[in-house]
Amino acid sequence: MTKRLSMNLPDKEADILAEIQAEDELTATEIVRKSILTQKFLRDEQKVGHIVMLEDHEGNRREIHFL
């Protein structure tokens, strides 16, 4: 089962979407689907008390907080 959606995006977000489409050769639908699944994963991890961190190539870490 699928659900049809219509969205209005501000120019900045629309430009980001177009950039991702061009770089990754994905459709807007694929990008939105992946974004939703990523958001769900991050929220679920934070709900159980896990910390989301980024580490650069030098080993520097920083904690990421999602609202």
What does the domain layout of the chain look like in residue ranges?
Answer: 11-64
- CB-based burial label for 59 (10 Å; 0-12, 13-18, 19+): exposed
Q: What is the pTM of this model?
A: 0.79
Residue pLDDT, tens place only, 16-53 = 999 999 999 999 999 999 999 999 999 999 999 999 99
- Residue 36: the pLDDT is 95
Q: How far apart are CA 15 and CA 24, in angstroms?
A: 14
Q: Indicate the residue type of 52.
A: V
Q: What is the mean pLDDT of residues 54-62?
A: 96
